[in-house]
């Protein structure tokens, strides 16, 4: 059985490290492209770069594709930003665009020639339910909605070459950042839980399982899909209505 090589951006964080661990457990060779070294050892080769630095990103991507044949790309790196329209910083907004959109496209552009040449590739973008809109998250919603549009358009473009592009859009996920604004037992946490059908906050492992599903070599017909994670997000029915499970398929 051929060993696949998977590149994960932002792999040193909570969700990224869970993705790396699961893929490694499944036999993948994993490359981590992240701002910092992981706090704990990961079964991956780590390349450190600031993805908001276009030139530095280009240099490290050139090195990665020269040293590894990348079969899979998981665009997971990102940052959050809460603001109102009155307090919006255009500089901060541009940083969001750089890491969520430009860096994702730059990574795709770097690995795509190899994927096309081998006639096989899997790309998974990490989105968010916030793309549907939420008060205080107008910039985050903007970049994640942009990522969805990018993914759908690219999926249609590269499907004939055997490359699939899908997006996993988590709801609330148990991470240190989430707990900073949603402490256990807090009013906002209780309210959030009341709107989640399964009655619990999602885990990084839930996201990793969804990513691994889309990376399977046995699923060439799944492309241009946007999936909510395990029905953990509120308004799952709205997600299902807006993004049907089969938007476009490779034949």
Q: Is 140 a catalytic residue?
A: yes
Check whether 240 has a pLDDT greater than 60.
no
For the chain, how many structural domains are there in total?
A: 1
Q: How many CB atoms lie within 10 A of CB 190?
A: 11
**Residues forming a β-bridge with 48:** 34
The mean predicted confidence, pLDDT, of the chain is 84
Q: Is 250 within the bounds of a domain? A: no
CA 134 from chain centre, in angstroms, equals 19
What is the structure's pLDDT at 184? 81
- For the cut 80, the answer to whether the pLDDT of residue 35 exceeds it is yes
Residue-level pLDDT at 250: 30
User: Computed from CA positions of residues 86, 91, 94, 95, in that sequence, does the dihedral angle turn out positive or negative?
Assistant: negative
Alpha helices, H only, 137-196: 138-158, 176-181, 187-194
Q: Does any domain span residue 25? A: yes
Residue 249 lies in a domain: no
Q: Above 60 in pLDDT, residue 2?
A: yes
Residue 25 contacts by C-beta under 8 Å, 6 or more apart in sequence? none
Burial class (CB in 10 A: 0-12, 13-18, 19+), 115: buried
| 124 within some domain | yes
Under 8 Å CB-to-CB from 106, ≥6 apart: which residues? 54, 57, 58, 61
246: pLDDT confidence band, cut at 50, 70 and 90?
A: very low
Range of the domain at 237: 5-242
47: in domain: yes
Give the count of alpha carbons within 13 A of 221, CB side only: 3
Q: What is the pLDDT of residue 153?
A: 93
**pLDDT, tens digit, for every residue of 42-101?**
999 999 999 999 999 999 999 999 999 999 999 999 988 888 999 999 999 999 999 999
Instruction: Look at residue 52 in the predicted model and tell me its pLDDT.
Output: 95
Task: Tell me which of 240 and 150 has the higher pLDDT.
Answer: 150
- Catalytic-role residue among 47, 81, 140, 247: 140
Amino acid 57: pLDDT: 98
Q: Is residue 247 part of a domain?
A: no
CATH code for position 228: 3.40.50.720
């Amino acid at each position: 059985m051929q060993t696949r090589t998977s590149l994960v951006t932002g792999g040193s964080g909570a969700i990224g490290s869970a993705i790396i661990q699961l893929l490694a457990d499944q036999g993948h060779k994993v490359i981590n492209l992240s701002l910092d070294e992981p706090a704990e050892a990961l079964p991956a080769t780590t390349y450190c770069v600031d993805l908001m630095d276009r030139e530095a990103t280009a240099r490290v991507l050139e090195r990665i594709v020269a040293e590894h044949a990348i079969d899979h790309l998981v665009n997971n790196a990102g940052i959050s930003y809460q603001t109102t329209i009155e307090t919006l910083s255009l500089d901060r907004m541009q940083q969001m665009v750089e890491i969520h959109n430009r860096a994702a496209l730059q990574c795709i552009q770097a690995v795509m020639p190899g994927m096309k040449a081998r006639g096989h590739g899997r790309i998974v973008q990490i989105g968010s339910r916030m793309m549907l809109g939420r008060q205080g998250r107008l910039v985050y919603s903007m970049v994640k909605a942009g990522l969805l549009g990018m993914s759908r358009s690219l999926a249609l473009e590269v499907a004939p070459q055997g490359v699939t592009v899908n997006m996993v859009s988590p709801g609330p996920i148990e991470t240190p950042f989430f707990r900073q604004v949603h402490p256990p037992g807090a009013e906002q946490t209780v309210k959030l839980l009341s709107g989640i059908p399964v009655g619990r906050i999602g885990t990084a492992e839930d996201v990793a399982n969804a990513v691994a599903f889309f990376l399977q070599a046995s699923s060439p017909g799944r492309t241009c899909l946007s999936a909510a994670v395990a029905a953990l997000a509120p308004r799952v029915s709205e997600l299902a209505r807006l993004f049907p499970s089969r938007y476009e398929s490779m034949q």
